Amino acid sequence: MSTYCVTGGAGFIGSHLCERLLRLGHRVVCVDNFNDAYDYKIKIKNILNSKGMESTFQSFNKETDLLHLQQAVDGDGYRLVAADIRHADELDGTFAGERIDAVIHLAAMAGVRPSIADPLLYEDVNVRGTLHVLEAMRKHGVRKWLCASSSSVYGNNAQVPFSERDIVDRSISPYAATKKACEVLGHTYYHLHAIDTMMLRFFTVYGERQRPDLAIHKFVRMLDRGEELTVFGDGSSRRDYTYVGDIIDGIVGALHYVEGHENVYEIVNLGTNRTISLLELVRGVEQALGKTARIRRLPNQPGDVARTYADISKAKRLFGYDPRTDFADGLNKFVTWYRGNTNGQALDRRADL
Protein backbone atom coordinates (compact mmCIF):
# COMPACT_ATOMS: atom_id res chain seq x y z
CA MET A 1 0.00 0.00 0.00
CA SER A 2 1.30 3.45 -0.95
CA THR A 3 0.26 6.84 0.42
CA TYR A 4 -0.67 9.40 -2.22
CA CYS A 5 -1.38 13.09 -1.71
CA VAL A 6 -4.00 14.35 -4.16
CA THR A 7 -4.29 18.14 -4.25
CA GLY A 8 -7.67 19.31 -5.49
CA GLY A 9 -8.94 15.91 -4.42
CA ALA A 10 -12.50 17.07 -3.75
CA GLY A 11 -13.01 18.33 -7.29
CA PHE A 12 -14.30 16.69 -10.44
CA ILE A 13 -11.23 14.76 -11.54
CA GLY A 14 -9.68 14.63 -8.08
CA SER A 15 -12.60 12.87 -6.42
CA HIS A 16 -12.65 10.21 -9.14
CA LEU A 17 -8.91 9.70 -8.71
CA CYS A 18 -9.21 9.37 -4.92
CA GLU A 19 -11.99 6.83 -5.42
CA ARG A 20 -9.84 4.76 -7.79
CA LEU A 21 -6.76 4.87 -5.54
CA LEU A 22 -8.81 3.74 -2.53
CA ARG A 23 -10.28 0.92 -4.59
CA LEU A 24 -6.74 -0.14 -5.50
CA GLY A 25 -5.94 -0.44 -1.81
CA HIS A 26 -3.87 2.70 -1.32
CA ARG A 27 -3.99 5.41 1.33
CA VAL A 28 -5.11 8.86 0.14
CA VAL A 29 -4.45 12.28 1.62
CA CYS A 30 -6.97 14.59 -0.06
CA VAL A 31 -6.02 18.29 0.05
CA ASP A 32 -8.60 20.86 -1.04
CA ASN A 33 -9.46 24.41 0.01
CA PHE A 34 -13.17 24.25 -0.98
CA ASN A 35 -12.97 27.69 -2.57
CA ASP A 36 -15.92 29.69 -3.84
CA ALA A 37 -15.46 29.05 -7.57
CA TYR A 38 -18.67 27.05 -7.21
CA ASP A 39 -20.80 25.84 -4.30
CA TYR A 40 -18.55 24.02 -1.82
CA LYS A 41 -21.38 21.59 -1.06
CA ILE A 42 -20.87 20.05 -4.51
CA LYS A 43 -17.35 19.08 -3.42
CA ILE A 44 -18.71 17.66 -0.18
CA LYS A 45 -20.97 15.40 -2.18
CA ASN A 46 -18.04 14.45 -4.46
CA ILE A 47 -16.09 13.25 -1.44
CA LEU A 48 -18.99 11.28 -0.02
CA ASN A 49 -19.50 9.65 -3.43
CA SER A 50 -15.79 8.88 -3.77
CA LYS A 51 -15.89 7.04 -0.45
CA GLY A 52 -19.09 5.22 -1.32
CA MET A 53 -20.91 6.87 1.57
CA GLU A 54 -24.63 7.50 1.60
CA SER A 55 -24.64 8.89 5.14
CA THR A 56 -26.09 12.38 5.50
CA PHE A 57 -25.76 15.27 7.85
CA GLN A 58 -27.41 18.66 8.09
CA SER A 59 -25.72 21.59 6.37
CA PHE A 60 -25.21 24.70 8.49
CA ASN A 61 -22.24 26.79 7.35
CA LYS A 62 -18.99 26.11 5.54
CA GLU A 63 -16.73 25.83 8.59
CA THR A 64 -19.10 23.52 10.44
CA ASP A 65 -19.86 21.46 7.35
CA LEU A 66 -16.16 20.82 6.66
CA LEU A 67 -15.55 19.84 10.29
CA HIS A 68 -18.44 17.37 10.14
CA LEU A 69 -17.22 16.07 6.78
CA GLN A 70 -13.73 15.38 8.12
CA GLN A 71 -15.19 13.51 11.06
CA ALA A 72 -17.36 11.45 8.72
CA VAL A 73 -14.78 10.49 6.08
CA ASP A 74 -11.41 10.26 7.85
CA GLY A 75 -10.29 6.67 8.29
CA ASP A 76 -10.22 3.51 6.16
CA GLY A 77 -7.18 4.76 4.28
CA TYR A 78 -8.48 8.29 3.70
CA ARG A 79 -7.57 11.64 5.24
CA LEU A 80 -9.20 14.93 4.29
CA VAL A 81 -7.13 18.10 4.74
CA ALA A 82 -8.95 21.40 4.20
CA ALA A 83 -5.95 23.50 3.18
CA ASP A 84 -4.93 26.09 0.59
CA ILE A 85 -1.83 25.38 -1.51
CA ARG A 86 -0.99 29.09 -1.29
CA HIS A 87 -0.33 28.63 2.44
CA ALA A 88 3.06 26.97 2.80
CA ASP A 89 2.59 26.30 6.51
CA GLU A 90 -0.56 24.29 5.88
CA LEU A 91 1.19 22.13 3.30
CA ASP A 92 4.22 21.73 5.55
CA GLY A 93 2.04 20.49 8.40
CA THR A 94 0.31 18.01 6.10
CA PHE A 95 3.56 16.58 4.69
CA ALA A 96 5.18 16.46 8.14
CA GLY A 97 2.40 14.24 9.45
CA GLU A 98 2.46 11.72 6.59
CA ARG A 99 4.92 9.47 4.78
CA ILE A 100 3.85 10.41 1.27
CA ASP A 101 5.09 8.28 -1.61
CA ALA A 102 3.92 10.52 -4.47
CA VAL A 103 1.89 13.66 -5.12
CA ILE A 104 -0.77 14.02 -7.80
CA HIS A 105 -1.19 17.78 -8.10
CA LEU A 106 -4.58 18.70 -9.53
CA ALA A 107 -5.38 21.81 -7.48
CA ALA A 108 -5.69 24.95 -9.60
CA MET A 109 -7.89 27.81 -10.62
CA ALA A 110 -9.45 26.48 -13.82
CA GLY A 111 -11.04 28.08 -16.84
CA VAL A 112 -9.85 30.28 -19.70
CA ARG A 113 -12.37 33.12 -19.54
CA PRO A 114 -12.24 33.70 -15.76
CA SER A 115 -8.45 33.87 -15.98
CA ILE A 116 -8.72 36.86 -18.30
CA ALA A 117 -10.88 38.64 -15.73
CA ASP A 118 -8.57 37.85 -12.79
CA PRO A 119 -5.07 36.93 -14.00
CA LEU A 120 -3.35 37.74 -10.70
CA LEU A 121 -5.47 35.20 -8.83
CA TYR A 122 -4.59 32.54 -11.42
CA GLU A 123 -0.90 33.33 -11.10
CA ASP A 124 -1.12 33.21 -7.31
CA VAL A 125 -2.88 29.84 -7.14
CA ASN A 126 -1.51 28.02 -10.16
CA VAL A 127 2.10 29.18 -10.13
CA ARG A 128 2.91 30.21 -6.57
CA GLY A 129 0.70 27.44 -5.16
CA THR A 130 2.50 24.87 -7.30
CA LEU A 131 5.83 26.18 -6.03
CA HIS A 132 4.61 25.64 -2.46
CA VAL A 133 3.73 22.03 -3.33
CA LEU A 134 7.16 21.47 -4.86
CA GLU A 135 8.89 23.06 -1.88
CA ALA A 136 6.95 20.86 0.54
CA MET A 137 8.00 17.83 -1.51
CA ARG A 138 11.65 18.92 -1.55
CA LYS A 139 11.67 19.59 2.19
CA HIS A 140 10.04 16.30 3.14
CA GLY A 141 11.82 14.05 0.66
CA VAL A 142 8.95 13.24 -1.71
CA ARG A 143 10.52 12.55 -5.10
CA LYS A 144 7.65 11.41 -7.30
CA TRP A 145 4.87 13.60 -8.65
CA LEU A 146 2.32 14.09 -11.38
CA CYS A 147 0.99 17.54 -12.26
CA ALA A 148 -2.13 18.49 -14.20
CA SER A 149 -1.36 20.64 -17.21
CA SER A 150 -3.83 21.44 -19.98
CA SER A 151 -4.41 21.27 -23.71
CA SER A 152 -4.76 25.07 -23.44
CA VAL A 153 -0.96 25.38 -23.56
CA TYR A 154 -1.08 24.62 -27.30
CA GLY A 155 -3.00 27.84 -28.02
CA ASN A 156 -4.11 28.08 -31.63
CA ASN A 157 -1.54 25.54 -32.76
CA ALA A 158 -1.74 25.12 -36.54
CA GLN A 159 -0.32 21.60 -36.62
CA VAL A 160 -2.66 18.74 -35.70
CA PRO A 161 -2.88 16.51 -33.88
CA PHE A 162 -1.13 18.34 -31.04
CA SER A 163 2.17 16.69 -30.14
CA GLU A 164 4.23 17.05 -26.97
CA ARG A 165 7.10 18.02 -29.27
CA ASP A 166 5.27 21.15 -30.49
CA ILE A 167 6.49 24.56 -29.33
CA VAL A 168 4.00 25.98 -26.82
CA ASP A 169 5.31 29.50 -26.26
CA ARG A 170 2.26 31.33 -27.63
CA SER A 171 -0.40 31.09 -24.93
CA ILE A 172 -3.57 33.06 -25.58
CA SER A 173 -4.94 33.14 -22.02
CA PRO A 174 -3.48 33.65 -18.53
CA TYR A 175 -4.76 30.19 -17.58
CA ALA A 176 -2.72 28.58 -20.36
CA ALA A 177 0.32 30.64 -19.43
CA THR A 178 0.14 29.47 -15.80
CA LYS A 179 -0.03 25.84 -16.90
CA LYS A 180 3.01 26.29 -19.14
CA ALA A 181 4.78 27.89 -16.16
CA CYS A 182 4.01 24.82 -14.05
CA GLU A 183 5.61 22.59 -16.69
CA VAL A 184 8.75 24.71 -16.58
CA LEU A 185 8.82 24.69 -12.76
CA GLY A 186 8.42 20.92 -12.83
CA HIS A 187 11.51 20.62 -14.98
CA THR A 188 13.42 22.97 -12.68
CA TYR A 189 12.74 20.81 -9.61
CA TYR A 190 13.47 17.65 -11.58
CA HIS A 191 16.86 19.12 -12.57
CA LEU A 192 17.78 20.62 -9.18
CA HIS A 193 16.21 18.17 -6.73
CA ALA A 194 15.78 14.90 -8.66
CA ILE A 195 11.98 14.98 -8.39
CA ASP A 196 10.68 12.53 -10.99
CA THR A 197 7.94 14.30 -12.89
CA MET A 198 5.07 13.62 -15.29
CA MET A 199 3.16 16.62 -16.66
CA LEU A 200 -0.29 15.55 -17.87
CA ARG A 201 -1.95 17.69 -20.54
CA PHE A 202 -5.67 16.99 -20.09
CA PHE A 203 -7.98 17.45 -23.08
CA THR A 204 -11.54 18.67 -22.20
CA VAL A 205 -12.52 16.17 -19.53
CA TYR A 206 -16.23 15.39 -19.04
CA GLY A 207 -18.35 12.88 -17.17
CA GLU A 208 -20.02 12.34 -13.81
CA ARG A 209 -19.32 15.10 -11.21
CA GLN A 210 -18.20 17.53 -13.92
CA ARG A 211 -17.96 21.11 -12.68
CA PRO A 212 -21.18 23.08 -13.21
CA ASP A 213 -19.40 25.81 -15.21
CA LEU A 214 -18.18 23.51 -17.97
CA ALA A 215 -19.87 23.36 -21.37
CA ILE A 216 -21.45 19.90 -21.26
CA HIS A 217 -22.84 20.41 -17.76
CA LYS A 218 -24.16 23.87 -18.69
CA PHE A 219 -25.75 22.68 -21.94
CA VAL A 220 -27.44 19.70 -20.28
CA ARG A 221 -28.72 21.84 -17.41
CA MET A 222 -30.00 24.64 -19.66
CA LEU A 223 -31.65 22.35 -22.22
CA ASP A 224 -33.24 20.26 -19.48
CA ARG A 225 -34.78 23.46 -18.07
CA GLY A 226 -35.96 24.58 -21.51
CA GLU A 227 -33.54 27.51 -21.60
CA GLU A 228 -31.83 28.91 -24.65
CA LEU A 229 -28.28 27.65 -25.27
CA THR A 230 -25.54 30.19 -25.88
CA VAL A 231 -23.13 29.19 -28.63
CA PHE A 232 -20.03 31.29 -29.21
CA GLY A 233 -18.94 31.55 -32.83
CA ASP A 234 -20.38 29.59 -35.73
CA GLY A 235 -20.29 26.24 -33.91
CA SER A 236 -17.37 24.88 -35.92
CA SER A 237 -14.83 24.95 -33.07
CA ARG A 238 -13.73 21.44 -32.15
CA ARG A 239 -12.63 19.77 -28.93
CA ASP A 240 -11.02 16.48 -28.04
CA TYR A 241 -13.54 15.43 -25.34
CA THR A 242 -12.13 12.86 -22.92
CA TYR A 243 -14.29 10.81 -20.56
CA VAL A 244 -13.23 11.04 -16.93
CA GLY A 245 -12.87 7.27 -16.53
CA ASP A 246 -10.32 7.23 -19.35
CA ILE A 247 -8.48 10.17 -17.78
CA ILE A 248 -8.27 8.31 -14.46
CA ASP A 249 -6.88 5.27 -16.29
CA GLY A 250 -4.25 7.58 -17.78
CA ILE A 251 -3.35 9.17 -14.44
CA VAL A 252 -2.94 5.78 -12.75
CA GLY A 253 -0.85 4.50 -15.66
CA ALA A 254 1.36 7.59 -15.51
CA LEU A 255 1.72 7.19 -11.74
CA HIS A 256 2.89 3.59 -12.11
CA TYR A 257 5.35 4.68 -14.79
CA VAL A 258 6.89 7.42 -12.62
CA GLU A 259 7.08 5.11 -9.61
CA GLY A 260 8.79 2.42 -11.65
CA HIS A 261 11.45 4.61 -13.28
CA GLU A 262 14.24 6.94 -12.20
CA ASN A 263 15.39 10.20 -13.74
CA VAL A 264 11.98 10.95 -15.26
CA TYR A 265 10.72 14.21 -16.72
CA GLU A 266 7.97 13.68 -19.26
CA ILE A 267 5.07 15.65 -20.73
CA VAL A 268 2.18 13.57 -22.08
CA ASN A 269 -1.19 14.26 -23.68
CA LEU A 270 -4.26 12.58 -22.22
CA GLY A 271 -7.02 12.90 -24.80
CA THR A 272 -8.76 10.63 -27.30
CA ASN A 273 -7.26 11.58 -30.70
CA ARG A 274 -10.81 12.38 -31.85
CA THR A 275 -12.60 15.73 -32.14
CA ILE A 276 -16.22 16.85 -31.81
CA SER A 277 -17.52 20.19 -33.09
CA LEU A 278 -19.54 22.51 -30.86
CA LEU A 279 -22.66 21.93 -32.97
CA GLU A 280 -22.11 18.16 -32.80
CA LEU A 281 -21.96 18.53 -29.02
CA VAL A 282 -25.29 20.36 -29.01
CA ARG A 283 -26.87 17.64 -31.16
CA GLY A 284 -25.47 14.98 -28.85
CA VAL A 285 -26.96 16.70 -25.80
CA GLU A 286 -30.31 16.97 -27.61
CA GLN A 287 -30.25 13.24 -28.36
CA ALA A 288 -29.24 12.28 -24.81
CA LEU A 289 -32.04 14.37 -23.29
CA GLY A 290 -34.63 13.79 -26.01
CA LYS A 291 -35.19 17.55 -26.38
CA THR A 292 -34.59 20.18 -29.05
CA ALA A 293 -32.39 23.18 -28.29
CA ARG A 294 -33.02 26.84 -29.00
CA ILE A 295 -29.67 28.40 -29.82
CA ARG A 296 -28.46 31.96 -29.32
CA ARG A 297 -25.26 32.78 -31.20
CA LEU A 298 -22.64 35.20 -29.88
CA PRO A 299 -19.16 36.19 -31.14
CA ASN A 300 -16.13 34.10 -30.30
CA GLN A 301 -14.73 34.80 -26.85
CA PRO A 302 -11.18 36.02 -26.13
CA GLY A 303 -8.87 33.18 -25.13
CA ASP A 304 -10.91 30.43 -26.76
CA VAL A 305 -8.98 28.21 -29.17
CA ALA A 306 -10.34 26.98 -32.49
CA ARG A 307 -9.66 23.31 -31.75
CA THR A 308 -7.93 20.83 -29.51
CA TYR A 309 -6.74 17.51 -30.90
CA ALA A 310 -4.41 15.18 -29.00
CA ASP A 311 -1.67 12.98 -30.35
CA ILE A 312 -1.78 10.27 -27.66
CA SER A 313 0.91 7.99 -29.11
CA LYS A 314 3.45 8.91 -26.40
CA ALA A 315 1.09 8.01 -23.54
CA LYS A 316 0.30 4.74 -25.29
CA ARG A 317 3.99 3.97 -25.69
CA LEU A 318 5.02 4.87 -22.12
CA PHE A 319 2.20 3.30 -20.10
CA GLY A 320 -0.36 1.75 -22.41
CA TYR A 321 -2.91 4.56 -22.34
CA ASP A 322 -5.93 3.45 -24.36
CA PRO A 323 -9.11 5.58 -24.03
CA ARG A 324 -12.11 3.49 -25.06
CA THR A 325 -15.23 5.48 -24.13
CA ASP A 326 -17.27 6.55 -27.14
CA PHE A 327 -18.41 10.17 -26.83
CA ALA A 328 -22.12 9.32 -27.06
CA ASP A 329 -21.75 6.66 -24.36
CA GLY A 330 -19.87 9.06 -22.09
CA LEU A 331 -22.47 11.74 -22.66
CA ASN A 332 -25.27 9.34 -21.74
CA LYS A 333 -23.40 8.40 -18.55
CA PHE A 334 -23.18 12.07 -17.64
CA VAL A 335 -26.89 12.64 -18.28
CA THR A 336 -27.79 9.62 -16.16
CA TRP A 337 -25.66 11.02 -13.34
CA TYR A 338 -27.15 14.50 -13.80
CA ARG A 339 -30.71 13.22 -13.53
CA GLY A 340 -29.91 11.29 -10.37
CA ASN A 341 -27.97 14.11 -8.75
CA THR A 342 -30.75 16.50 -7.67
CA ASN A 343 -31.07 17.40 -11.36
CA GLY A 344 -27.46 18.51 -11.36
CA GLN A 345 -28.13 21.46 -9.07
CA ALA A 346 -25.97 22.63 -6.21
CA LEU A 347 -27.30 21.29 -2.94
CA ASP A 348 -29.74 23.48 -1.07
CA ARG A 349 -28.42 24.86 2.21
CA ARG A 350 -31.00 22.83 4.14
CA ALA A 351 -30.50 19.70 2.11
CA ASP A 352 -29.00 16.54 3.54
CA LEU A 353 -25.41 15.95 2.53
The catalytic position among 175, 206, 257, 309 is: 175
Domain that holds residue 114: 3-210+240-273+309-323
205 near 244, Cβ under 8 Å? yes
Q: Is 321 a catalytic residue?
A: no
Peptide bond preceding 161 in cis form (omega within 30 of 0): yes
Cβ atoms within 10 Å of 53's Cβ, excluding its own: 11
Task: Establish if 20 belongs to a structural domain.
Answer: yes
pLDDT digits (tens, 9 = 90+) for 256-266: 999 999 999 99
Task: Establish if 125 belongs to a structural domain.
Answer: yes
Task: Establish if 353 belongs to a structural domain.
Answer: no
109 near 125, Cβ under 8 Å? yes
Q: Which of 155, 146, 148, 326 is nearest to 242 (CA)?
A: 326
Q: 0.85 exceeded by the pTM?
A: yes
Alpha helices of the chain — where are they, by DSSP H? 12-23, 40-50, 62-73, 88-96, 112-117, 119-122, 129-140, 174-193, 215-224, 244-260, 278-289, 313-319, 327-340
* Residue 147: CATH number of its domain: 3.40.50.720
Domain tally, the chain: 1
Cβ atoms within 10 Å of 288's Cβ, excluding its own: 20
Q: Average the pLDDT over 107-136 and give the result.
A: 97
pLDDT digits (tens, 9 = 90+) for 23-34: 999 999 999 999
pLDDT digits (tens, 9 = 90+) for 165-186: 999 999 999 999 999 999 999 9
